[in-house]
Amino acid sequence: MIGVLLVLLLLPFLLYIAAPQIRKMLSSGVCTSTIQLPGKVAVVTGANTGIGKETAKELAQRGARVYLACRDVQKGELVAREIQIMTGNQQVLVRKLDLADTKSIRAFAKGFLAEEKHLHILINNAGVMMCPYSKTADGFEMHMGVNHLGHFLLTHLLLEKLKESTPSRVVNVSSLAHHLGRIHFHNLQGEKFYHAGLAYCHSKLANILFTQELARRLKGCGVTTYSVHPGTVDSELVRHSSLMRWIWWLFSFFIKTPQQGAQTSLYCALTEGLEVLSGNHFSDCHVAWVSTQARNETVARRLWDVSCDLLGIPVD
């Protein structure tokens, strides 16, 4: 009994001492590509904070023309100015994008297509996590609507521009949480049963299935696509859950910084020779294992068709 109490008393201290090494181990993936991006155009969703901000900053540092696609334009403008000052790149632009509203997504795409002749990198980074049950402007469950359907529609609307700009890449930010996800076609909008944590997992599974099916459909056309697990990152993603905020604080020594969390997205966007791995899932800048559900081609194809139907996109 005394031994157990002693261990419990010493555990916080031991974790504190071990934290730097554990954090290094959990943050092992680093994008080492030295490629520069003058003349390239990139879109990063959710780029006004966290991983998206760090991703956009690095792309700007390499000379790309970067669009910060944000719901909060005012906050986005502040971040854009910060990136411009830090990188010396004035080609950092902010455009309104609310992934919870298909009208906003279509307006963003229409404006972008009118402004730009090319699109080389699309990083579908924005997301919500553990929201109380709610619906988007179009009646979709919030996690599935924002994390999957919103990015599905955005990618569809920008796809021809990506094809015209080859070689080009699409990076979809997923999560290790996809292992707990399932695609319940009879309850895709969470109306029959709902759990905030699982709803997030389901949407992250959808990201991986979308990536695989998109890669299959785009094979040989010069557009490649990848899904990524950024790691457990200190970001605003947990803002809807007091429990998750407490857990994040408790284990803050072991959680990645947003800069560390952006590394795998950058790796998939920039690393040369990655085209042969299109459709794969990455973590810490390496190909990562996915769940059995995430390898189900039948589910991936059905999810594609159902997504098209929900968004009013012709099924090909």
Residues 93-131: pLDDT tens digits?
Answer: 999 999 999 999 999 999 999 999 999 999 999 999 999
Domain containing residue 136:
34-310
Report percent pLDDT > 70 for the chain: 84
Distance of alpha carbon 266 from alpha carbon 194, whole angstroms = 34
Residue 25 lies in a domain: no
- Residues with Cβ within 8 Å of 195's Cβ and at least 6 positions away in sequence, in order, are none
| Residue 204, H or E segment | helix 196-218
Distance of alpha carbon 95 from alpha carbon 102, whole angstroms = 15
Q: Indicate the pLDDT class of residue 253, thresholds 50, 70 and 90.
A: low
Residue 281 lies in a domain: yes
> Which pTM value belongs to this model?
0.88
Torsion of CA 93, 95, 100, 104, to 10 degrees: -150
Residue 22 lies in a domain: no
Structure tokens at 270: 């920039």
**DSSP single-letter state for residue 282:** E
Residue 162 lies in a domain: yes
Q: What pLDDT, on a 0 to 100 scale, did the predictor assign at position 241? A: 57
Residue 258 lies in a domain: yes
Average pLDDT over residues 189-218: 97
Active site residue 16: no
Residue 230: CATH number of its domain: 3.40.50.720
Q: In total, how many domains does the chain have? A: 1
Catalytic residue among 16, 67, 194, 200: 200
Residue 201 lies in a domain: yes
Residue 112 lies in a domain: yes
Q: What is the mean pLDDT of the chain?
A: 89
Residue 8 lies in a domain: no
Average pLDDT over residues 203-216: 98
